[in-house]
Amino acid sequence: MISRGSSRGKGSSGSFPEVDTGNPGRPDRILARLAECGVAPGDMRLILLTHGHVDHFGSAAELCERTGAPVAIHALDAEAVR
C-alpha cells in the first residue's frame, strides 16, 4: 500500500513496517489506513525513515509511542529527528 507521505507493506511474517510517516499530526490517518487493511497497531514492527526531512519523519515519535515500533534512520540523519 502506498499513500501520499508514506509507504507500507505487509511482510511474510504478518508484521508491518512503516516507511516514512509524513508531516506531523498524521498518526490517526496512518493508523486508520492500516485498520482499513486489517492491520492492528501492534502489527507495526518498524518505522523506517528514509531521511531527516520533517515531511518524512514528522509523525514518527507519536506513531512510535502508539504502536511500540522502533524507529530506524541513517546515523547521519538521526540528530535531525531527535
Rounded Cα distance between 26 and 51, Å, is 18
Number of domains present in the structure of the chain: 1
CATH number at residue 71: 3.60.15.10
Domain coverage including residue 7: 2-81
pTM for the model:
0.79
41: closest CA among 15, 23, 19? 15
Q: What angle do CA 10, 15, 21 make, to 5 degrees?
A: 70
So what's the pLDDT on residue 1?
Answer: 44
Q: Percent helix, strand, coil in the chain (nearest 5)?
A: 40, 20, 40
pLDDT, one tens digit per residue, over 45-55 is: 899 999 999 99
